[in-house]
Amino acid sequence: MDYEKYKDEIAMHALRVFVERGYHRATLQDVAERCGIGRTTLYSYFKNKEDIFLHVVKKQVEAFRAAYRNLLEDPELSYLDKIKELVARVIRDYENNHELVIFTELWLLLKMKEGQPERALRRWLREIRLMFADLFKEAMQHREIKKGDHEILSSILFGLLEAMLLEKAWNREMQLDAHLQGIYLMLDGLRA
Residue range(s) defining the domain that contains residue 169: 54-188
**Within a domain: 115:** yes
Q: Is residue 107 part of a domain?
A: yes
Task: Give the pLDDT confidence score for residue 122 in this predicted structure.
Answer: 76
Total domains in the fold of the chain: 1
Position 64 in a domain: yes
**Percentage of the chain surpassing pLDDT 70?**
86
Upper half-sphere CA count for residue 8 (Cβ side, 13 Å): 9
User: For residue 174, is it within any domain?
Assistant: yes
Question: Is 168 a domain residue?
Answer: yes
Q: For helices 3-21 and 49-72, give the axis angle rounded to 10 degrees.
A: 110
Q: What is the pLDDT of residue 102?
A: 60
Closest by CA to 111, choosing from 64, 41, 169, is 169
Read off the pLDDT of each residue in 97-111 and give the average, rounded to a whole number.
Answer: 59
Q: Kindly state whether residue 37 falls inside one of the protein's structural domains.
A: no
Q: Is 39 within a domain?
A: no
Give the whole-number percent of the chain exceeding pLDDT 90: 42
Residue 41 has pLDDT above 90, yes or no: yes
44 assigned to some structural domain? no
- 101 has pLDDT over 60: no
pLDDT of residue 176: 83
